[in-house]
Amino acid sequence: MRRTIDWADGAIVIVDQVALPGEYRILTLRTVTELVDAIQRLAVRGAPALGAAGALGVALAARQGDDVRAEAERIAHARPTAVNLAWGVSRALTQLPHGADAVLAEAQSMLDEDEQRNHTASAHAAEVVLDACPRRPLRLLSHCNTGHLATVSWGTALGVVWHLHERGLVESVLVDETRPLLQGSRLTAWELEQAGVPYRVQPDGAAATAMARGLVDCVLVGADRIAANGDVANKIGTYSLAIAAAHHQVPFVVVAPTSTVDKAIATGADITIEERAATELTEFGGTQIAPKGSAVFNPAFDVTPHALITAVVTEDGVFGS
Ligand code: MRU
């Protein structure tokens, strides 16, 4: 699978995640304005991929000789919850005094690192899952999209599925559709289909019932920001999944690179949660579905307290151990 985000011929190239699964389309982003728009439309999304977008965005601004620090601010604030975006921007900026080529070299090495970190984190997490779950082969539950598309390549929580599938240890994956933007049914199902891993898409509301029926051996999710105390911000619905998993004694494992850890944030209560447009809920495929003018509550993420999590796993191993 090609990289979700990369640098080619003086521009940022991304796999357009709005077009999938209908069309596999590559977008070329030549300006910071195009990049910010792609981030806000979720054409590029997922915390680790946003880290790469932040770094490459600074490289783009530096090569174009813009007011790089002002452009960097604009990129860092394109979305607020995933710490990776601001992290990618600030790390690329450290090379600015050495010139545009040094910024680009730093950004490119961050892309390589992202692949390695996620591959390692998900390998560690696969061992955690095997220790926590006696049944073979495993029936796993996935929320949002945490695969190749959410990272430079490979993935975090879905990376665990790739490792276990390579060893013949995956029976199937229950894929939460992940309302309202359907990253599960559009993107995760597409990735599992490509990889030949058996899966079933389910409405988010079916997850607790699936656990009650004994159909889930482990829940695997990613993270957008991990606070110093191990609380985890991730796609809306993750907290409800964790509560259901705790109730049914199903292991609940979070997988993320250390670039998602924000030690400056003491607890999950301090994480800024993005609220998105009302039309994501009042319309579907361009058709009005709620009464015109309906007020909405549309947080894109929620916070899961560390106490509900079996393990948060990074490339360094189990967080906090
Ligand atoms: O709004 P999105 O699609 O960017 O949200 C993504 C998620 O919540 C993912 O679970 C998270 O970024 C981890 S991805 C490896």
Predicted TM-score of the model (pTM): 0.97
Using CB distances shorter than 6 Å, the residues near ligand 1 are: 42, 45-48, 82, 144, 146, 150-151, 156, 183, 222-224, 234-235, 300
Q: How far is the CA of 97 from the centre of ligand 1 (A)?
A: 32
Which pLDDT band holds residue 65 (cuts at 50, 70, 90)?
confident
Q: Is the pLDDT of residue 232 over 80?
A: yes
ipTM of the complex as predicted? 0.98
- Write the pLDDT tens digit of every residue in 2-46: 999 999 999 999 999 999 999 999 999 999 999 999 999 999 999
* Distance between CA atoms of residues 12 and 32, nearest Å: 10
Instruction: Tell whether residue 183 is among the known ligand binding residues.
Output: yes
Q: What is the mean pLDDT of residues 123-142?
A: 98
Instruction: Tell whether residue 46 is among the known ligand binding residues.
Output: yes
Q: Is the pLDDT of residue 321 over 80?
A: no
* Distance between CA atoms of residues 169 and 153, nearest Å: 22
- Write the pLDDT tens digit of every residue in 69-101: 999 999 999 999 999 999 999 999 999 999 999
DSSP H helix total and E strand total for the chain: 11, 16
- Write the pLDDT tens digit of every residue in 150-188: 999 999 999 999 999 999 999 999 999 999 999 999 999
Cα 189–253–315 angle (5° rounding)? 95
Alpha helices in the chain (DSSP H): 32-41, 47-63, 68-76, 83-93, 100-132, 157-166, 183, 189-195, 207-212, 238-247, 279-282
Q: How far is the CA of 39 from the centre of ligand 1 (A)?
A: 12
